[in-house]
A and B are shown apart, each in its own frame.
Chain A
Amino acid sequence: MLELLHMHFMHNALLAACLAGIVCAIIGTFVVINRIVFISGGIAHTAYGGVGLAVYFGFAPLLGITLVSILASLVMAWVSLKARNRADTMIGVLWALGMALGVILLDLTPGYHVDLMSFLFGSIMTVPGNDLWLMSGLAVIILCTVGYFYHDFVALSFDPEFARVRGIPVGFLHVLLMLMIGLSVVVVIQVVGLILVIALMSISPFIAERFSPSPLRMMGISLGLNLIFALLGLLLSICLNVSAGPSIILVASLAFFGVQIVASSR
């Protein structure tokens, strides 16, 4: 088992899992306290259109995912600001449209059949070095942005009307938060795939919420949980020789239901 940790692909896998764990702990906390898990799922699935675009026009899939994620998060921001009570339908339509476009563009691409499963469920064991650089860069951007605007994001989540009276640029911050969700989707897709992004963003912050007196503590506890889930998931996938992404989610989901059952039996 130990010699596995010294293999090159394992280094990359652990690094990718750590990056995803950090990003999901921070952004997932705001996703959970603002109850916008559905929006983050919508952005992730719409991003599949980016895979189709990239393959069809012949550029790197992660670049396609990044561009479409950013576009999708801006549209989601606009929809949730301007048409709040119809937002769920709009998000659902974008969710489906992105997936459909992705599949159609892949169908139209002659002779090339990209491994669909790796984008749907992640391919953490085969993360290329270049992608790790992009993921690290995005993680730094997310960390700095949330560090600088932490109290503003908290105020926005707690009481947006009051925040506006105190001169906090609520509209700008809402768009910025959506953009951060879009960027974190890019980081996480390599690890668990776009279908499972929602799980990694919501499970550990949700568990952490019970034990947290502040959003900052919630991020810290979620980070610890995410790293444990990633490590156990990777071990499970190696032992059973099954896909890594779904294994991580399986561990996280078991922990989620475990905590729910223990908490409700008290």
Chain B
Amino acid sequence: MKSSTTTPVIDIQNLSFAYHHSLVLENVNLQIQERDFAAVIGPNGGGKTTLVKLILGLLTPDQGKIRVFGRPPREASPDIGYTPQDTEINSSVPMSTEQAVLMGCMRGGGGWRRFSASDREMVREALTQAGAEKLATKQVAELSGGQRQRVMLARALVTRPRLLVLDEPTANVDSQGQSEFFDFLQKLNDQVTIMVVSHDLMVLSSHIKSVVCVSKQVHFHDRPEITSEMLSAAYHCPVELVTHGPVPHRVLAAHEPDDNA
């Protein structure tokens, strides 16, 4: 990794972060390279969302350095597409899908005429790219969990970002929909670096390229494997992978001793 000549997409060095004096992330070092498809796993409260918010520039680290495309996160934000957790969205706001995606075109605050014809054209393209072109005139409140996820993805894609950060994108989607969604992300991954926070380990393991385990400390695994050691380190309890029926899955390789542990 360190011998790589290109600038990493995400470069975090010696980063620590605390909420109200309780340490959430401790001495994090993490490099994500171009075209990676990284899964972020870990227990609830382990710091996954905090890590995401630091990368987006929504939080500033107490210690250490964070660079996205070689720049401070806030400066890099035009190159970052983001979908927050589904619970962040207030569905009592009456809004068409097209309007929701247009939000992705916004820059800074204020203005009498906010959206140009080319913004609307980009919205159409993003909706098509996300397979949601038929939903353009629907109301966000009418969408199913899976449809809403596609629309939020379109909103993240509308500015043609080079990095996609998705926080639990399939939390309200059935397993069929999850698998389709990750197939779709895999296609996008030809052009875009992807970082996805998820609990859907079975679906993840057949699509991703690397794993980021977050539980106060952060461990990077440069292979698409989720081993039982990683699970128990990340979730503090032995986890059994159980599956029924024709769910795509793979047998995972045994975990090797981790030299940065």
Interface residues of A (CB under 8 A from B): 33-35, 147-149, 151-152, 154-155, 157-169, 172-173, 209, 212-215, 217-218
CA distance A167 to B77 in the complex (A): 8
Binds A, one of B34-42, B104-112, B234-242, B245-253: B104-112
Are B106 and A163 in touch, CB under 8 angstroms? yes
Are A149 and B110 in touch, CB under 8 angstroms? yes
Which residues does chain A contribute within 8 Å of B92, judged by CB atoms? 33, 35, 209
Total A-B pairs, Cβ < 8 A: 89
- Min CB distance A30 to B, Å, is 10
Chain B residue, CB-CB nearest to A147 = B112
CA distance A160 to B84 in the complex (A): 10
Chain A residue, CB-CB nearest to B96 = A213
Which residues does chain B contribute within 8 Å of A169, judged by CB atoms? 108-109
Which residues does chain B contribute within 8 Å of A33, judged by CB atoms? 90, 92-94
Are A165 and B58 in touch, CB under 8 angstroms? yes
Are B112 and A214 in touch, CB under 8 angstroms? no
B95 within 8 A of A: yes
B89 within 8 A of A: yes
Are A218 and B58 in touch, CB under 8 angstroms? no
Chain B residues touching A, majority SS: loop
Chain B residue, CB-CB nearest to A168 = B109
Interface residues of B (CB under 8 A from A): 56-58, 77, 80, 82, 84, 88-90, 92-96, 99-100, 103-104, 106-112, 114-115, 139, 155
Which residues does chain B contribute within 8 Å of A164, judged by CB atoms? 58
Are A159 and B84 in touch, CB under 8 angstroms? yes
Given contacts A148-B112, A162-B155, A213-B139, contact A167 B107 (CB under 8 A): yes
Which residues does chain A contribute within 8 Å of B115, judged by CB atoms? 151
- Min CB distance B122 to A, Å, is 14
Given contacts A172-B109, A214-B94, A214-B95, contact A161 B84 (CB under 8 A): yes
CA distance A154 to B114 in the complex (A): 12
